[in-house]
Structure 1
């Protein structure tokens, strides 16, 4: 059940990102299935590729005191856009979109946790 809730939260976050920020959008005619697929791909990329990118960029990440993570998150969003119905208007838009997506996801995670849908006790 937790996987489905996490997928739905990610899908809602991606959808809200496209409504809030004009640099990221879904292809015309994209439906709920396209949004869910983009959220699933985002989860897979975050689980498999993002840790490798963070490990490879560790020296520059240390030098920038963690700010390079924003660039890595932009690369992840750009990769997701390359294989789904998500459209990103350039790499700069991907970095800004990733930052906004992080904030939206953080708020949605807090709401899900407050309502008690995250499956955690206490």
Structure 2
């Protein structure tokens, strides 16, 4: 998938997951979801490689499961930058949203951004 397609998919996922977990995850509007998607993409490009490198020993010991914590932290950081219109009730909820978004993105990418057929 291209960059803007991934941004739109993440915005739709934010709205859908906020509707599903309405008491634990809040997104004010679709515009806030789009803003949060852009902020998350910037953080994934700028901060995530440094965090992965910094946490490499614990990531190896946990067989990569620590990356869920890193993704949850990046979502919390996104909520901090976006403001009060995008928030989580707890760090555990941000980790759950990170797992669900990763699964949904993997499924959507396999259908949309799949191999070209000859």
User: TM-score with structure 2 length normalisation?
Assistant: 0.84
Return 78-87 or 2-11, whichever deviates more. 2-11
The two structures, once aligned, show a CA RMSD in angstroms of 1.9
- 1:103 partner SS: helix
Matched, 1:106 2:106: yes
- 1:66 partner SS: coil
- Compare relative contact order (CA 8 Å, sep 6+) and give the higher one, 1 or 2: 1
Matched, 1:83 2:91: no
Matched, 1:32 2:33: no
- How many residue pairs get aligned? The number is 114
Matched, 1:19 2:19: yes
Partner Cα distance (1:31, 1:98) in 2: 19
- 1:121 partner SS: coil
> Does the Cα contact within 8 Å between 1:13 and 1:108 map onto a contact in 2?
no
- 2:18 partner SS: helix
The equivalent of 1:94 in structure 2 is 94
Structure 2 spans left out of the alignment, 5+ residues: none
The equivalent of 2:48 in structure 1 is 50
User: TM-score with structure 1 length normalisation?
Assistant: 0.82
Partner Cα distance (1:3, 1:63) in 2: 32
Residue-by-residue CA offset, 1:87-113 (whole Å, 9 max, x unaligned): 111111111111111112222223323
